Chains A and B, each alone.
Chain A
Amino acid sequence: MRVVVLGVGNVLLSDEGLGVRAIERLQRAHRLPPGVEVIDGGTSGMELLEQLEGIDALIMVDAIRAGAPPATPIRLAGNALPVFFRTRLSPHQVGLCDVLASLELLGRSPRHICILGLQPQSLALGMELSREVEEGMPALLDMVTAELASLGLAAPATGCGGI
């Protein structure tokens, strides 16, 4: 089983980069089973094609603007995904959307796709997360490990802390 946990976002725009910050912490604070690859996607598009090709599951972690209170955890899967891409809740979706469409065209889409994230509080210039999102990060990491668990993959905490 090959699973990719893909953190996306722009780390120069505070909470916009929460997906990248989340996967950095995931790698530091959890022991990931073989077959799980963690990728810092930043704001890339087509460069990611190869790494997402023919995998069993793609777990994207991103800032999701859903009009919810700051740091609200959000999970999108199944029918909610096309809506996510169409309404472009996150600015880099255009690139990733095209990567996924290209994979579909090649007949090598991930079999399972979900997007996990938090409602951002601030998109201001800066490399720190907002206080609200910072406090919401443990919940987001729990969502990621729960998603992995649902795929039958355990990612226990190492006790080193995620910060």
Chain B
Amino acid sequence: MSQRVTIDPVTRIEGHLRVDVEVDGGKVKKAWASGQMWRGVENILIGRDPRDAWAITQRICGVCTTVHALASVRSVENALQLELPVNAQYIRNMIILAHAVHDHIVHFYHLSALDWVDVTSALKADPAKAASLAESLSSWSGNSKAEFSKVQQRLSGFVGTGQLGIFTNGYWGHPAMKLPPEINLIAVAHYLQALEVQRHANKVVSILGGKTPHIQNVVVGGVANALAVDSQAVLTVERLLAVKDWIDQLADFVKNVYLIDVAVVGGSYPEWTQIGRGIVDYLCVPDIPLDGRNTEFALPGGHIAGGDLASFKQIRTHDDAYFKDGVSESVKHSWYEGGKGPLHPYKGETRPQYTDFQDDGKYSWLKSPTFYDKPMQVGPLPRVLAMVAAGHKPTIDHATHALELVSTVAKTKVGIDALHSTIGRHAARAVACAVEVDELARQWDLLLASMAKGDLKTFNKPIFPKGEITGVGMHEAPRGVLSHWIVIQDGKIRNYQCVVPTTWNAAPRNEKDEPGAYEACLAGTPVAIPDQPLEVLRTVHSFDPCLACAVHVVDQERQPVVRVKAA
């Protein structure tokens, strides 16, 4: 007898994703992922000046402000075939990388670690044992017995007053929680330290972007930062030295804490390397351009078919027809007018047509994107696998190191194949983060070297031709491939479509009724207690869902924060 479980919403912070699963024999048999809000932001852009689009698109989402700003200016620059000064690339790259590092740290510790870590169990830990365990794995300065005792006291103060605050909604004591008390205590301590450390990443974005959370420095044609070797009120060497100091502190935390914690959690839950495989067709795009024309990149990207690294096909430039021609979106199962089959984003339409939630019909506000007619998984896992396949040495080194640690903790050899899983997505995100924080330091070096040569140029003026031009802005955002597609007619926007990472992953069934990545990855996930579907949340959270982007945020009056319904 099968049982239907509805979880709505499934994220701790950005909400509005609903997941329905049919559970049979203690496992998910069938799943539906549904965006519950309509996103019509593209319609606001039509008729506007393309140079203003970035400031509007960065308002789509509170988490991903910078990524939409950058994808937007890139789409216009691609349409104009505009070359950028290399300094503008370095500054944008540092914003991209600092944002990614911030996003990954916050995602792991503050948005998903508590799916695996039982906070209340940390109270039972022996701080001395926790310290000796942590010190055996890492040289991080915040792993002392004194530190862990302090954290335990603070936590017990919270629990004592009955005010668990941010920890209220956890599934404490759930049978799927398996970490020993000492590891739980280490994780809680690092949760608090991560709150401190994430600020450094935010400061980097803030200094370079002018402001946070909404950066101000982006313009079509470059950046608005005036560079100077001596003058005040601009991006000076002195300010850049402060940025370097924050980057170094981030690198210390990412490599000596985050990567290790993920390996310890992964090694402690080896069964989760067998869960959540789902779609193993992977897509990512190259990013961190090293030239003004987006033809050389620090971080490679491309397509992997069937989970086979040997099948890797590289996407070489941000103008690569292999990517541009391959993307289309179906609305067969989405609440939009359709009937035309999958449409390329330049031809994309956004006309709502709401029905009820129909299991075999329309059931989501998300469209269903495909790459050459196949659903894809996007995000840090595809990114890491593609970089490994491309022979990117820093990625291979960090991935090898992480898998060795996992193997030590699990006391069995764990290879790269384990990454095609729920826990593997967390591991890949930590590996990606380590690669990104190293690259952030390298981009800093490149900018300083360029300035030292006397090159202070940051902007090339765009000129809009008469007639129609089209462009795509590709960006490998923290959650995966983001693309903005623009059609410009006589200098005004005629069409605009954003194909965001969460749309790829949380897509409903496509034109051929094949499930999207969440739906496919949920199949087979065990569910011990249907009204406490922790295991389902683990798999969905492993993607770092950000539905505020994929759909728009709107009235939730009188709706409970979380509705778990097992019927």
Interface residues of A (CB under 8 A from B): 10-13, 16, 40-50, 65, 67, 86-89, 91-92, 94-95, 98, 101-102, 104-107, 123, 125-127
Contact = CB atoms under 8 A, between A and B. Distances in A.
Contact of A13 (B13, B199, B554): B554
A94 B44 contact: no
A95 B166 contact: no
A11 B158 contact: no
B41 A94 contact: no
A85 to B, nearest CB: 9
A101 B93 CA distance: 32
B217 interface: no
Interface string B191-209: 0100110110011000000
Given A105-B166, A125-B44, A45 B13 contact: yes
A105 B59 contact: no
Contacts of B558: 87
10 contacts: A12-B44, A43-B548, A43-B553, A46-B13, A87-B558, A91-B553, A95-B63, A101-B165, A102-B166, A102-B195
B554 A102 contact: no
B61 interface: yes
Given A10-B552, A11-B59, A104-B165, 14 more contacts: A12-B41, A40-B211, A42-B62, A43-B553, A45-B62, A46-B13, A47-B62, A47-B212, A98-B12, A98-B110, A101-B166, A105-B165, A123-B555, A125-B40
Contacts, number: 113
A91 B59 contact: no
Contact of A47 (B40, B43, B213): B213
A94 B14 contact: yes
Contacts of A67: 557
A127 B44 contact: yes
A65 B555 contact: yes
A91 B198 contact: no
A46 B198 contact: yes
A24 to B, nearest CB: 12
A7 to B, nearest CB: 11
For chain B, which range describes its interface: under 10, 10 to 19, 20 to 34, or 35 or more residues? 35 or more
Nearest to A45: B13
A44 B63 contact: yes
B561 interface: yes
Nearest to A108: B195
Contacts of B44: 12, 125-127
Contact of A65 (B12, B15, B557): B557
B13 A44 contact: no
A65 B556 CA distance: 10
Contacts of A13: 552-554
Nearest to A17: B59
Nearest to A40: B214
A46 B165 CA distance: 15
B82 interface: no
Interface in B159-202: 165-166, 192, 195-196, 198-199, 202
Contacts of A42: 59, 62, 65, 213-214
A53 to B, nearest CB: 8
A48 B212 CA distance: 8
Given A42-B213, A49-B195, A98-B166, A88 B202 contact: no
B14 A95 contact: yes
B169 to A, nearest CB: 10
Contacts of B14: 45, 94-95
Nearest 10 A/B pairs, CB to CB: A43-B62, A101-B166, A44-B213, A44-B62, A47-B213, A101-B165, A50-B199, A91-B553, A125-B40, A46-B106
